[in-house]
Every structure is written in structure tokens, then in C-alpha cells.
Amino acid sequence: MEQLIDSSDIADDVAALRERMSEDGYLYFPRLLPSDYVTGVRADLAAVLHDSRWLASGTEPHELRASDRAVEEGESTFFGMYSAVQATQSFHELSERRELRGLAQRLLGEEVFCHPLHIARVTAPTPRATPTPAHQDYRLIQGAVDTLTMWIPLADCPSDAGGLEVLAGSHKLGVLGVSRAEGPGGVTAQVAGSGVDDWRSTHFGQGDVLMFTSLTVHGARPNLSDRLRLSADIRWQARSEPAAFIDGYEPFRPHFHPDVPDWPTLTRGWTSTTSIEIPEGLTYVRKFDAMSEHVPTPPSRFR
């Protein structure tokens, strides 16, 4: 497997950023977020995991050593812990970091907003948890095709803990077919026979940022360690472009709602809710069936 290309040297060069994103479908920025800041967020989440008994007895919370109570995302005993994670103000305020907004705005070339649906990944060691299968975000989130995902490890993620891998150049294939799969998201992209086979990953550090388009195929590697892998998924799009919603639900409910409470419950006691507010004047489109056989590929800045 090839190593991710470090884009730190072109972080302020808009033309170079867009050119590399158009070529590879991802950008990687080691240690973009300050270590002390990320350590604080990790400590808040580790306290939740400790109280939920997801951490091994007698270990330090910051080590994130998994207990036998740690289960796969979506299992019945998962949601008590995850609701407490989603009620953690500092986790959601990751989305307010100027480093992240600035990157998204430079890439998209206009005013942006961050989806309030912020995803925390608390990945137990295998075989208790199935890695996220290789997929494209577009079928799952829909709306603006140029929605950008930022994957941020909240603790060091060496090779034995897995981490994310991306298929460089796969965004050029357009919207791929999918099939059902085990693991988070529940779908896998049909990349066999596409001619693209350039998987890239690295030894991720706390506060690294891996950004990719909604058409870039990506997935998680197995967590072969004895620790929980802790990360955040934060998504950005242009304010001028439509977001998607499901009939019967207000847009941008919390991740895993209704198994996780709605925002009025989660935000009790918060000092600010700006991190989960939706800008006024957005346009919306209805979500289509993510398993549809043929989905047209919308025009993209990066294809």
C-alpha cells in the first residue's frame, strides 16, 4: 500500500490544492490541529467511555484500552455510550476550528457551512467490530456532490489500530454501483474491474486531517490493537448548493437519530449551540434510494 501524500506545503496555495484534489481525490494534512486542543477533546470523550465502562478496568482513560463491553457500532448496547458522546459539546466544536473551515472554503471557492451531523467513530478491536467497507459518501449523504469529508483521528492511530485508507483517483469513476455489506454504512462500492487500484494510507497522528470528496472510495482498515480507535467525521459543503433530507425528518438530525436523542436533549447544559446550527436560506432536495442501480454523476469541481 502506498503512503498518503502530505499536502501541508501547499495548504495556502488554492490552485495547487484544487489541482491535487482533482487528481487524487484527497488531501492529507498531518498535525493540522493543535495537539493540546485535540488532547482536550479526547479527554472529554475518554471520560464518557470510562463512565460507559467501555475502557478496561485499571487502565488510564487516555490509553483507550478497550473493555469487553465495547461493541460494534449500531448494536443495542452501543447507543447509551454514543448518546453521551453526541451530548459532548467539545466534540461538536471541532467543526468551528478555523483551520478546517479555511481549508474547505479555499477548496470550494465560496462560503461554506459544516453539516451539524458530526460523526464520532468509536471502533472496537476486531473481531468485535467490522471495519467500515470501502464506499463513496455520495450515495449516503447525497445533496451537493462536492461535499468534502474531513476524517480526524482524535488519538494516535498506528498501523495496528487500522485507520482510514483511500483509493486515489477513484472519484474520477463517477457514482459507482453498490451492494450490501457488513460494517458502518452498510454498503460497499463496486470497484472491481474499474482499473483503479491505488490504495493509500499511513500511520496517522492525533489531529491529522484527511479530506476527500464524496465520490472518493474509502474504507477503514481492521483494528488489530487492544485499543479503541477514536476519530471524527466532519463534512463541509458550499452554502449555495442543496443539502439532502429524508421525508418525515428535519434535516441534519444527530447521527443515529432516533436511536440517539434529538438536539434539544443532547444540548442541555451547553454554553453555546453554534456548532450545530443550520444556516438560513439553504435549499434542500429529497434523498433517493441509496441502493438504486443507476445513479447519474452530477458535475463536480474536482472531476
Instruction: Say whether the peptide bond before residue 116 is cis (omega within 30 degrees of 0).
Output: no
Beta bridge partners of 143: none
pLDDT at 1: 80
Give the chain's domains with CATH numbers.
2-268+282-286 (2.60.120.620)
Torsion sign, CA atoms 112, 6, 35, 209: positive
**Torsion-angle region of residue 242: left (phi > 0), alpha (psi -120 to 50) or beta?**
beta
- State the residue for C-alpha cell 485535540: 38
- H or E stretch at 39: helix 35-51
pLDDT at 196: 93
CB 286 within 8 A of CB 242: no
pLDDT at 126: 86
pLDDT at 212: 98
pLDDT at 129: 86
Rounded Cα distance between 168 and 24, Å, is 5
Instruction: Specify the pTM.
Output: 0.97
pLDDT at 303: 86
Pairing of strands 112-114, 218-221: unpaired
Beta bridge partners of 230: 122
Closest alpha carbon to 233 in 153, 126, 141, 129: 153
How far, rounded to the nearest angstrom, does the alpha carbon of residue 29 sit from its chain's CA centroid? 15
pLDDT at 233: 98
pLDDT tens for the chain, 303 residues long, are 899 999 999 999 999 999 999 999 999 999 999 999 999 999 999 999 999 999 999 999 999 999 999 999 999 999 999 999 999 999 999 999 999 999 999 999 999 999 999 999 999 998 888 899 999 999 999 999 999 999 999 999 998 998 999 999 999 999 999 999 999 999 999 999 899 999 999 999 999 999 999 999 999 999 999 999 999 999 999 999 999 998 777 789 999 999 999 999 999 999 999 999 999 999 999 999 999 998 999 999 998
